[in-house]
Copies of this chain bind each other. A is one copy, B any other.
């Protein structure tokens, strides 16, 4: 269902620890990145992003890889929001957010996505394991559902950095 939120007040990416804030998609410290920001919208989650001029598939339509990227970071951000809340924390209470990695990402392109308007990724969460969440994502351009995705996000293993 479409969700008309168009500004994220409190984003989970605002409270990722600095060492995990370099993601090209959603890292607040990655100045050349896309800087997606993900917050709650009722019981769903939302990321709003307006593609850059160069993010075209063909002129007038958005590049599918950008949509997949939006779904990816929206999925891990949504999982982090959910676990942060489950842990009894809130954005801004001084605690760092947990960080998830993507195990799998599916994107189904339903319609050509018009370029030049904000895209809204809306997520519906399901905890499938204490360290694993499934996030169903719908991507809207204005009122039109253009893509659907599914992200399986896994809490980042402590071994990740040593691999």
Contacts and interface: CB of A to CB of B under 8 A. Distances in A.
Interface size bracket, A side: 35 or more
A59 interface: yes
B109 A24 contact: no
How many copies of this chain does one complex carry? 2
Contact of A69 (B27, B32, B69, B102): B69
| Interface hub of A56, A57, A107, A111 (most chain B Cβ within 10 A) | A57
A68 interface: yes
A66 B102 CA distance: 13
B111 A54 contact: no
Most chain B beta carbons < 10 A, residue from A31, A32, A112: A112
23 contacts: A19-B58, A23-B56, A23-B63, A24-B55, A24-B57, A24-B66, A25-B64, A25-B65, A30-B56, A57-B101, A58-B161, A64-B72, A64-B101, A65-B65, A65-B66, A65-B68, A65-B70, A65-B73, A68-B107, A101-B109, A102-B109, A105-B106, A106-B106
